[in-house]
Amino acid sequence: MAKLESTFKNMVLCLVIISMVAAGALAGIYLVTLENINAQKLAKQEAAKLAVLNGQEGYAVETAVDGFGGQFRVMVGFDAEGNILGYEILEHQETPGLGSHMTHWFKNADKPKQNIIGRKAGKLTVSKDGGDVDAITAATISSRAFLKAINQAYAEQFGAEAHTGASIQNEPKDNVQSAEEAEHKCCGHYQGEHKCQGEHKCAGHCQHAEGEHKCAGEHKCQGHCHHAEGEVK
């Protein structure tokens, strides 16, 4: 019985040692592989920078957006004026034979309606949404995402607001306000710098206008004064 117990302990000990050695080996392989992957990514980024600038002075900007199949990363080259010098897709998950064509579709010099090289970035939009860039055939979503990435890269470098790649006509009407509405925005319901100020400021959410300075006339709050007293609509 003692001999059997000793043999069992030896087996367990051997299994533990083997497991530890295997785990250590796998960890070592992972670290080496990860280092190689990172080195390859860095090399690809450096090569992309050279490619998008095409030997010219400018800026190489890397950005990422969500496409049809998932997130993709793109490197974009700009000159000092914000014109596109080139682009390279660093990685993507778009559908092969459809969205994957963005790697070359938008820099085809023989197709000026789809070629974006030399154009000013910032507000590029596919023709289907009222723009002047032809989308990839049967891959409009991927095309919109690609143009969004280009506009986004432009915004990151030049500080402009990035266009989504879709027509402004597709944006909710509530998000578009007149200058007068922006000036008299009601506190608490609108974002931005143009808040109600001075004697026409509405307290809270336009439900409890204070004193004699109620929201009225041309200064009434837009759309959120349902419960305010007095002259408020």
Round to whole Å and give the CA distance between 205 and 208.
Answer: 7
Which among 66, 39, 36, 117 is positioned nearest to 47, based on CA atoms?
39
* Residue 35 within any structural domain of the chain: no
Q: Are residues 110 and 189 in the same domain?
A: no
Q: Are residues 107 and 198 in the same domain?
A: no
Round to whole Å and give the CA distance between 72 and 89.
Answer: 8
The beta strand positions in the chain, using DSSP E, are 59-66, 71-78, 84-91
Long-range residue pairs from 155-162, CB within 8 A, at least 24 positions apart, any chain: 155/122, 156/61, 156/63, 157/59, 157/61, 157/78, 157/82, 158/78, 158/82, 158/122, 160/122, 162/122
Q: Is the overall model pTM greater than 0.75, yes or no?
A: no
Are 97 and 122 a contacting pair, CB within 8 Å?
no
* Residue 158 within any structural domain of the chain: yes
| Ordered per-residue pLDDT tens for the chain, 233 residues | 445 456 877 888 888 888 888 888 888 887 777 777 777 778 888 999 999 998 999 999 999 999 999 999 999 999 999 999 999 999 999 999 999 999 999 999 999 999 999 999 999 999 999 999 999 999 999 999 999 999 999 999 998 766 665 543 333 333 334 333 333 333 333 333 333 343 333 333 333 333 333 443 334 434 443 333 333 33
* Residue 16 within any structural domain of the chain: no
Q: Are residues 137 and 182 in the same domain?
A: no
Domain count, the chain: 2
Q: Are residues 60 and 129 in the same domain?
A: yes
DSSP count for the chain of H helices, then E strands: 3, 3
Round to whole Å and give the CA distance between 222 and 190.
Answer: 10
Full DSSP string of 96-142? TTTGGGGGTGGG-TT-TTT--TTSB-SS--BGGGTSSBPPPTT-HHH
Q: Residue 101: what are its φ and ψ, rounded to 5°?
A: -70, -10
* 3-class secondary structure, 54: coil
* Residue 26 within any structural domain of the chain: no
Strand partners, 63: 74
Q: Are residues 57 and 160 in the same domain?
A: yes
Are 115 and 124 a contacting pair, CB within 8 Å?
no
Round to whole Å and give the CA distance between 177 and 233.
Answer: 19
Q: Are residues 118 and 198 in the same domain?
A: no
Q: Are residues 164 and 58 in the same domain?
A: yes
* Residue 30 within any structural domain of the chain: no
* Residue 146 within any structural domain of the chain: yes
Return the pLDDT at 52. Answer: 97
Return the pLDDT at 164. Answer: 61
Containing structural domain, residue 189 = 177-208+216-233
Q: Are residues 149 and 222 in the same domain?
A: no
* 3-class secondary structure, 202: coil
Round to whole Å and give the CA distance between 26 and 77.
Answer: 40
* Residue 182 within any structural domain of the chain: yes
